[in-house]
Homo-oligomer: A and B are copies of this chain.
Amino acid sequence: MSGLLQGPVLVVGTGLLGTSVALACREAGLEVLLRDVSSEHVRTASGLGAGVPDTGAAPQLVVVAVPPDHLGAEIAAALAATDAVVTDVGSVKSQPLAQLKALGVDDLRRYVGSHPMAGSERSGPLAASATLFEGRPWALTPHQSAEASAIAVVRELIMLCGAVPVDLSPDDHDRAVARVSHLPQLMSSLVAGRLAEAPSSHLALSGQGVRDVTRIAGSDPTLWKQIITANSEAVLAMLDEVEERLARLRGFVAAADAEAIAALLAEGVAGTRAIPAKHGGVARPMASVFVSLPDQAGELARLFAHVGAQGVSIEDVHIDHDPGRPVGLVELVVEATSASTLVASLTARGWVVHP
């Protein structure tokens, strides 16, 4: 750290994100002030060691961590009441700027938006953790009139939280999350919505594929309706792209044009390869090894101990429980070069392995 960020840090909104930022700042030794419309949330966060209820002391940095609909008003209030640098952690970055403009806030030199990619499945201060942001991407999205010194302070906050800053303009950020987050969310919800009324004999054929595709459809509609409406322009552009492709696909299916269908599917294959490798490096070829195991506490540990003893690093794991009985099928995703020796060694140790 360059020592630019000295505190105090005022956190407005002590939910999951705000309290997690506060805990990380406290761990770095900074003074943290807490404010929330819910005094219970402030007490809880304070009790967790995230800081003290706002004393009115002049902060160096204000972190606004309130629901999307309230961002503009809270940022404006923070700019008016203090001389501090102000950031927010909202999921959409152009809407707060528009709200500030509508509120007549002209001087935005001290405001720098940001967006950590973490934690939306859980909520509330009790779910918070100083390490929530460790190694996660955190978009840093200064608008054109933001001061360089303000940007530097927010960048230091991101580093202090252990996150990886990703520099984007507010509009560019909103287009990015429309593509990699909001569109997948909406399509997942549409697919899952088609299951709600299905006969149970149809749902009995559900496999890992439909479970994966619909997992995020279980997210909170109250949060997501705000995110989607706050980013409506970029989301509409993505919906239009998908609507156009879907209409084309429908035409290919109706015409039984197998080659055109294959070409659309191949676009998808290319897309899965475009997602960066989880380590941020070059994608390495992976292979799956499937192992059947009794669904008992301890069996997974025994399996991973055997895998670890081979020096093989597990890139990903999927567990597919059997619908009819308590036997699980575990998919271990490992580097392709390790797969065959892993299969051999696990088989030798008595595991039921499907290569």
Contact = CB atoms under 8 A, between A and B. Distances in A.
Interface string A1-23: 00000000000000000000000
A323 B164 contact: yes
A94 to B, nearest CB: 14
Contacts of A266: 221
Interface in A95-113: none
A70 interface: no
Interface string A299-337: 111111101111111111111111111110100000000
Interface residues of A, number: 145
Contacts of A290: 129
A176 interface: yes
A226 interface: yes
Given A180-B203, A180-B206, A194 B238 contact: yes
Contacts of A214: 184, 268, 271-272, 275
Interface stretch (A37-45, A130-138, A147-155): A130-138
Interface of A: 117, 121-122, 126-127, 129, 131-132, 134-137, 139, 164, 166-168, 172-173, 175-177, 179-181, 183-196, 198-207, 209-219, 221-222, 224-226, 228-229, 232, 235-236, 238-243, 245-247, 249-250, 253-254, 256, 258-259, 261-276, 278-280, 288, 290, 292, 295-305, 307-327, 329, 352-355
